[in-house]
Structure 1
Amino acid sequence: GVVTKSAQICQYLSFHYDVETWLSKRIREGAEGETIAAFLEALAKAVNTLCASGAWHADLSGKNIMTRDGTQFYFVDLDAVEMNVVYDDEKRLKNHVQLYDSFCDALSDALLVPFIQAMTPEHLDLRVWMPRVRKAQQERRAKVEARWAKHGPPERMNPLRAFLAEHPIETERP
């Protein structure tokens, strides 16, 4: 397409990490349930604020959300943001799958279901919504792993996935 307008947004985020790396560091330091739940609650509020603004981030995975302290967040990769759009259930599902996929290697559904629920409007039944999120995440993961098998893994791996490889956890997922 033709670029008719452009903008450059710059802010140096000193000592900020993407939320996958930030959470991985906290887990390695011994953070447990309440601390992680508070982080996920704050992240859900930030995502809800973004969505309420009329903006939709098409690549809302953990690598595109930065934090310094786990309470304030910056969304990056703004090329993937569309402005003045209706945040419908299709867009919501895509974002929930991206976020769930970012964290499910290291966190159980005991933490992830309340996180997703905090971003889910009342008209959606969580008992129906979560199986859709899980199924779509598994399909997304299978595509990614097939691409890795064909072309090799990325230079940067989600640190939570690496953490899981070193410290397997039992999940409460069906």
Structure 2
Amino acid sequence: MTPDLRDDAAKPVAVIVRSATPEDAERIAALHTQGWLNYRGLLPDRFLDDPERPGRALARWRSQLAATTDGTGTREPVMQVAVAEAAGRVVGFASWGPCFDPGLRDHDEMVDLWVDADERGRGIGSALLRHGLASCRRPVAFWVLRGNDRAAALYRRFGAVDGRLDRRQPLATGAGGEDLVGDMVDHLWVIR
């Protein structure tokens, strides 16, 4: 089973892509939480059904959108975050910035690209990806969950090539670092 891979081309929608603000944190967290559910069948139900996921997502995005890097209070987040609006409603978001993976530190990384499930196939992901790529000045890495063929196809349309590398990482760890639900395997795609 793979995430929603419907081939029916929905009618494109007018999209405005803009920098995210702290006021967007709640909607971004909701989209992020909703997006993970599309991986049912690829990731363990125990991970996907975690009742604390929405709260953790909200805390992450509140923190991310308020982050500073220089200690002076100047808002210069390490990661950039953009949202896509259609008809005045946030329907997707993306985040990107420097890649911190060993061996890829000379790359930028598209960390998140999520679109409301009801809005997929309408050009929103492409608009967000175009926006993020325009601000990257180095090759861009994309870690894509194995089995997420829809995302891999989108990145290939933008020129991504197979990075020929997989990484395995725990989905959730306990306070002592123990694995709680298993691993996920991501595959690397790169735009040079």
TM-score, normalised relative to structure 1: 0.33
Structure showing greater relative contact order (alpha-carbon pairs closer than 8 Å, 6 or more residues apart): 1
Q: Greater strand percent: which structure?
A: 2
TM-score, normalised relative to structure 2: 0.30
